[in-house]
Amino acid sequence: MRPEGYDYDTHSRLAGPLTEPSGSAYRVQYTKLLSKEPHRIRAVLLMTLAPLLTGALLVYLVWPTHWVEREGADTWLVGLDITMLIAIGLIELFMVVNVVSVAHATMVARDPVPVVAEPGTRVAFLTTYVPGKEPLSMVRATLEGATRLRHTGRLDIWLLDEGDDDQAKALCAELDVRHFTRAGVPEWNRPKGVHKARTKHGNYNAWIAKHGGEYEFLASVDTDHVPLPNFLERMLGYFRDPDIAFVVGPQVYGNYTAPVTKAAESQQFLFHALIQRAGNRYRAPMFVGTNNVVRIAAVKQIGGLHDSITEDMATGFELHRHRNPRTRAHWRSVYTPDVLAVGEGPASWTDFFTQQMRWSRGTYETLFKQYWKAPFTMPWGRLFSYTLMLVYYPMTAVNWLLGIVSCVLFLWFGASGTEVTASVWLMLYSDAAALQVGLYLWNRRHNVSPHEPEGSGGLAGMAMSALSAPIYLKSLGAALLRLPCRFVVTPKGGDASPDRLLTFRIHLSWTVVLASSLIASFVLGHSHVAMRTWTVLAMAISLAPVGVWAFTRYRERRASAAAYRLGRQAAAAAAARLTDSKEPALGPQPTPAPSVSGTTTGGN
């Protein structure tokens, strides 16, 4: 259900009013975000100076004259110095790439010009259901939202039921929704591939194999997403362009109450407000499975949704490598900033970490299994855009590891890859950091979230990205070792996974490494303010989710205790009133004792 008090109507029309397509051969038209900005000079300065100053810091730190030289030192210590220098260089290089990515996105981001949908098209609206994993009340809300969709053509609503559940079939009959299941069909329940059992993509591909030929377009949302009535009106028009394979919208969380949920939505700001809009520049924003419309012929051409822990990313990447057989042009995609469906986000740290683990693992799978094909089949601009998107998780993971390695090497062994003037380093670093934050804050004006307060700085999202780095590192290690990673349905509908101290075992493990290194630096006399400061900051990042969890539990316990005390006081007061209201007896009588329910044991 959508929460009250948020302006979803306005946010469902962020791309502008619907227009009639012009010309006989329609192509999607775009408007640049910068063209709407009256103070473009500030943005240009930030886009230019932030990468330049970050690059200057990199050059300064790794300049040959700043390398550490040890006369007569042991070979192993020299080797540690070299390792330290490489780590510092890579950390700063990754920072440059990240800043360039944001600056580039700021420069090229654009929105599509909405057009009226072509009447008479055949559309199937799909959502899935896993009995026992997702509450039927949530499925009802999604299907009821789908029945309110507006479309001038054939529209059938389908529930793809993994378990052939009787209650689900009864709900479909009640709402006049079509029911589909692949349960009991061996060819649609295989150990791997496009029809892999117990997976979202396997469920969709089974439906496509059975019913896909009846429709032109497949619209879908995750089970926890309720579509707005104008969902199809705002998405289908772009398919007048024959080369559009899919259209996607942003993901927002309607259960905007828990601290984790609020921070998780804020974390997605850059992707949905900027990076995806930059993808429009190259006609190739990423496929997001939470809410979208897809051209069925395009999906069939590549053999269906791909077998991956994140089937949406893998499928979108594959579509962008292929050409429309009718026009011989590469398939394109469109990202609209219109919020057209409201879903649910992770409400606990356990679910958030599971989500981040799955998203990052899917990115690594795309990099390892698909990316090598792109230089031979994908336009260079599109490849550049995808590269900037795909390197985020591995760069964040490796940056965390290199930062820890640098701290350990210095604090334990006194290794130092570079020697620079502290005042110059501090000046360059503080200026570069200020420009990076300034660029981030400037882009907050493009936020598409209807939930975050206007003018908010998004600091919770920045913090959420930082403390996710250990999760991305673990996921990267598992991908490199090819450890199995099964698809896990995120608990929904108030069934959030409970948090325990073990939920934070990854972060606590890194805290132990950092704390022991910090203590060792005092014992061994390896004193450097910057390195100790970085160690303390890394420890703060590692302990932040534990602290938030502990504080939240403390507040909940205090609230429960206060509610319990108020309840006891109210019960006692009610019992006293009932006692005082008794008619006096003829003779001495015992005082009636209140029962558990607050009423008296004797009659009136």
Residue 131, class by beta-carbon neighbours within 10 Å (0-12 exposed, 13-18 middle, 19+ buried)? middle
As a whole-number percent, the residues of the chain with pLDDT over 70 amount to 94
pLDDT at position 497 over 60: yes
As a whole-number percent, the residues of the chain with pLDDT over 90 amount to 79
pLDDT digit string, tens, across residues 82-129: 999 999 999 999 999 999 999 999 999 999 999 999 999 999 999 999
**Which residues, listed in sequence order, are joined to residue 111 by a DSSP beta bridge?**
31
Positive or negative CA dihedral for 338, 344, 347, 348?
negative
pLDDT band with cut points at 50, 70 and 90 for residue 318:
very high
Please give the pLDDT value at position 494. 60
CATH number for 234: 3.90.550.10
221, containing H or E segment = strand 217-221
Nearest to 294 by CA among 339, 244, 225, 252: 244
Nearest to 434 by CA among 66, 57, 33, 40: 57
Beta strand 178-180 with 154-161 is parallel
Q: What is the mean pLDDT of residues 246-264?
A: 95
pLDDT at position 597 over 50: no
Please give the pLDDT value at position 581. 62
Residue 562 lies in a domain: no
pLDDT digit string, tens, across residues 17-38: 999 998 789 999 999 999 988 8
pLDDT digit string, tens, across residues 338-370: 999 999 999 999 999 999 999 999 999 999 999
Q: What is the mean pLDDT of residues 248-276?
A: 95
Radius of gyration of the chain (CA): 29
CB 397, CB 404: distance < 8 Å: no
Residue 525, class by beta-carbon neighbours within 10 Å (0-12 exposed, 13-18 middle, 19+ buried)? exposed
Please give the pLDDT value at position 69. 85
Q: Which of 79-88, 481-490, 522-531, 576-585 has the highest mean pLDDT?
A: 79-88
Please give the C-alpha separations between residue 492 and each of 1, 135, 310, 326, 472, in angstroms, as whole numbers.
Answer: 12, 7, 18, 42, 23
Please give the pLDDT value at position 590. 44
pLDDT at position 595 over 60: no
Please give the pLDDT value at position 106. 96
Please give the C-alpha separations between residue 534 and each of 186, 528, 537, 538, 544, in angstroms, as whole numbers.
Answer: 55, 10, 5, 6, 15
Residue 154 lies in a domain: yes
- 37 vs 221: CA distance, rounded Å: 33
DSSP conformation class of 215: -
Please give the pLDDT value at position 594. 40
Please give the pLDDT value at position 192. 93
Who contacts 316 (Cβ-Cβ below 8 Å, separation ≥6)?
246, 286, 287, 333
- 237 vs 118: CA distance, rounded Å: 6
pLDDT at position 271 over 50: yes
pLDDT digit string, tens, across residues 133-179: 899 999 999 999 999 999 999 999 999 999 999 999 999 999 999 99
Residue with the larger pLDDT of the pair 494 and 210: 210
Q: Which residues of 567-593 are buried (b: 16+ CB within 10 A; e: fewer)?
A: eeeeeeeebeeeeeeeeeeeeeeeebe
Residue 600 lies in a domain: no
Residue with the larger pLDDT of the pair 4 and 267: 267
Nearest to 44 by CA among 103, 109, 120: 103
Who contacts 189 (Cβ-Cβ below 8 Å, separation ≥6)?
182, 183, 195, 197, 202
pLDDT band with cut points at 50, 70 and 90 for residue 493:
low
- 350 vs 358: CA distance, rounded Å: 12
pLDDT band with cut points at 50, 70 and 90 for residue 1:
low
Please give the pLDDT value at position 189. 97
pLDDT digit string, tens, across residues 472-483: 999 999 999 998
Q: Which domain holds residue 133?
A: 115-346
pLDDT digit string, tens, across residues 366-421: 999 999 999 999 999 999 999 999 999 999 999 999 999 999 999 999 998 898 88
CB 282, CB 384: distance < 8 Å: yes
pLDDT digit string, tens, across residues 523-565: 999 988 888 988 999 999 999 999 999 998 888 788 777 777 7
The angle at the Cα of 316, spanning 312 to 318, to the nearest 5 degrees, equals 120
CB 185, CB 141: distance < 8 Å: no
Q: How many domains does the chain have?
A: 1
Residue type at 224 in one-letter notation: D
CB 277, CB 337: distance < 8 Å: yes
Please give the pLDDT value at position 489. 60
pLDDT at position 601 over 60: no
DSSP conformation class of 594: B
pLDDT band with cut points at 50, 70 and 90 for residue 442:
very high
Residue 327 lies in a domain: yes
CA atoms within 13 A on the CB side of 177: 30
Q: What is the mean pLDDT of residues 436-448?
A: 94
- 334 vs 280: CA distance, rounded Å: 6
Residue 94 lies in a domain: no
pLDDT at position 450 over 60: yes
Q: What is the mean pLDDT of residues 440-448?
A: 95
Residue in the block written with tokens 């700001």: 269
CB 14, CB 339: distance < 8 Å: yes
CA atoms within 13 A on the CB side of 575: 18
Residue-level length of the chain: 604
Helix axis angle, 459-467 to 259-267, nearest 10°: 90
Q: Which of helix, strand or coil describes residue 63?
A: coil
Please give the pLDDT value at position 41. 87
Q: What is the mean pLDDT of residues 487-495?
A: 60
DSSP conformation class of 184: T
Question: What integer best gives the mean pLDDT of the chain?
Answer: 91
3-state secondary structure 272-292: HHHHHHHHHHCCCCCCCCCEE
pTM of the model: 0.90
CB 142, CB 224: distance < 8 Å: yes
Residue 390 lies in a domain: no
pLDDT band with cut points at 50, 70 and 90 for residue 308:
very high
Q: What is the mean pLDDT of residues 566-587?
A: 67
- 166 vs 184: CA distance, rounded Å: 15
Residue 282 lies in a domain: yes
Please give the pLDDT value at position 128. 97
**Which residues, listed in sequence order, are joined to residue 47 by a DSSP beta bridge?**
none
Residue 427 lies in a domain: no
Please give the pLDDT value at position 157. 98
Tokens of 42: 């500030």
* Helices H / strands E in the chain, number of each: 21, 11
Please give the pLDDT value at position 486. 65
Nearest to 50 by CA among 61, 42, 62: 42
